[in-house]
């Protein structure tokens, strides 16, 4: 029995299709298909069967999935332990961050880390949906939240304040009482969706976006007002605050990683780097206007 086929099967069981599994594994779907076939043949047991929508695991397949998961955990924790021992700042470090942050304020920080640690190849990946660090989809996750997962450990880097923004022109006209505020419908994350709903209970939006960068662009066009993290809104000279930030909209910026990685050099280095750098930007994140002017 080829143990590597179990790894491939696990990817398939997670993703639900050969194609998706292949994509994650970075191999061809035909290979996934063939190797799972080979596995079934060797075990003399079908592991999956066609169903109405996609595939469904058989009982044996389900059990193998569980076993494979345990094996994965076993190997991941071994890898983490062995990396912790060698204690060298080498290897790959996969960081997942939120799009709007990674492409703006964080990028120079990443760049400096990379320059300071040339032997660590840093891979930044943008993922807005929650990433499964237990399965090591990434080594480190940067997340905005007030309730970080329990099984993960990490640091609260800073507080991210948000406020209501509009274009400079829009805000001026609005404040002089020319018309009611129009809210842009946002669907980029749970927080912004909820806050918008609270601020604009009628839920009437003439314009909707599902991505923070689109919110910025829409606001610039004078289409209305909407929530933005201050570090984004304040950085745009054509935008102005329609309301000042409120504490209830504060979010923690967390740097999270799996317990097993807590002693791995490249992770601790990255954590310390982020803490140092973010500390200098705390005013920007917390929306202290003085920091801008």
Partner DNA sequence: CCGACACTGTGCAAATATGCAAAACGGTTT
Partner DNA sequence: AAACCGTTTTGCATATTTGCACAGTGTCGG
Contacts to DNA by CB under 7 A: 17-20, 26-31, 33-35, 52-55
Residue with smaller CB distance to DNA, 27 or 89: 27
Applying CB under 8 A, the site for a second copy has a residue count of: 30
**Distances in Å between the alpha carbon of 67 and those of 3, 41, 192, 222, 280?**
12, 18, 40, 55, 46
Site for a second copy in 88-117 (CB under 8 A): 88, 90-91
Residue 49 lies near a second copy (rule: CB under 8 A): no
Smallest gap from Cβ 53 to DNA, in A, equals 6
The count of C-alpha atoms lying within 13 angstroms of the C-alpha of 145, restricted to the half-sphere facing its C-beta, is 17
Burial class (CB in 10 A: 0-12, 13-18, 19+), 3: exposed
Burial class (CB in 10 A: 0-12, 13-18, 19+), 287: buried
d(CA 93, CA 57): 33
Collapsing DSSP to helix, strand or coil, 245 comes out as coil
Given a second copy, DNA, none, residue 91, with its beta carbon under 5 to 8 Å by kind, binds: a second copy
- Segment contacting a second copy by CB under 8 A, of 4-12, 139-147, 152-160, 169-177: 4-12
b/e for 192-204, b at 16 or more Cβ within 10 A? beebbeeebeeee
Smallest gap from Cβ 7 to a second copy, in A, equals 5
Residue 34 lies near a second copy (rule: CB under 8 A): no
Given a second copy, DNA, none, residue 30, with its beta carbon under 5 to 8 Å by kind, binds: DNA
Residue 56 lies near a second copy (rule: CB under 8 A): no
Phi, psi of 176 (to 5 degrees): -80, 5
Question: Are 254 and 142 in contact, with CB atoms under 8 Å apart?
Answer: yes
Q: Determine how many CB atoms are found less than 10 A away from the CB of residue 219.
A: 27
x/- map, 232-271, a second copy, by CB under 8 A: ----------------------------------------
Residue 45 lies near a second copy (rule: CB under 8 A): yes
Residue with smaller CB distance to DNA, 57 or 105: 57
* Contact residues: a second copy, CB under 8 A: 1-7, 43-45, 59-60, 63-64, 67, 70-71, 74-75, 77-79, 81-83, 85-86, 88, 90-91
């Amino acid at each position: 029995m080829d143990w590597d086929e179990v790894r491939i099967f696990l990817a398939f069981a997670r993703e639900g299709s050969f194609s998706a599994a292949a994509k994650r594994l970075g191999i061809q779907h035909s290979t996934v298909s063939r190797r799972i076939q080979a596995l079934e043949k060797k075990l003399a047991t079908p592991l999956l069967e066609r169903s109405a929508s996609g595939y469904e695991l058989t009982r044996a397949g389900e059990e193998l999935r569980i076993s494979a998961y345990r094996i994965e955990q076993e190997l991941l924790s071994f890898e983490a332990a062995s990396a912790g021992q060698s204690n060298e700042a080498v290897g790959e470090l996969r960081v997942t961050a939120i799009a709007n942050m990674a492409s703006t304020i964080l990028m120079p920080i990443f760049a400096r880390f990379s320059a300071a640690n040339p032997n660590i190849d840093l891979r930044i990946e943008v993922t807005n949906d929650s990433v499964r660090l237990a399965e090591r989809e990434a080594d480190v996750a940067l997340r905005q939240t007030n309730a970080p997962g329990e099984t993960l450990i990490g640091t609260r880097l800073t507080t991210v304040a948000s406020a209501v923004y509009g274009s400079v022109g829009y805000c001026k006209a609005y404040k002089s009482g020319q018309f009611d505020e129009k809210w842009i419908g946002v669907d980029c994350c749970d927080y912004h969706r909820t806050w918008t709903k609270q601020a604009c209970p009628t839920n009437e939006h003439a314009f909707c976006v599902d991505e923070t960068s689109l919110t910025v662009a829409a606001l610039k066009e004078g289409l209305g007002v909407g929530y933005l993290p201050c570090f984004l809104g304040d950085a745009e000279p054509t935008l102005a605050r329609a309301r000042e930030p409120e504490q209830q909209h504060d979010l923690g910026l967390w740097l999270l990683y799996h317990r097993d990685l807590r002693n791995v050099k490249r992770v601790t280095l990255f954590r310390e780097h982020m803490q140092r750098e973010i500390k200098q930007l705390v005013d920007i994140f917390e929306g202290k206007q003085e920091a801008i002017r």
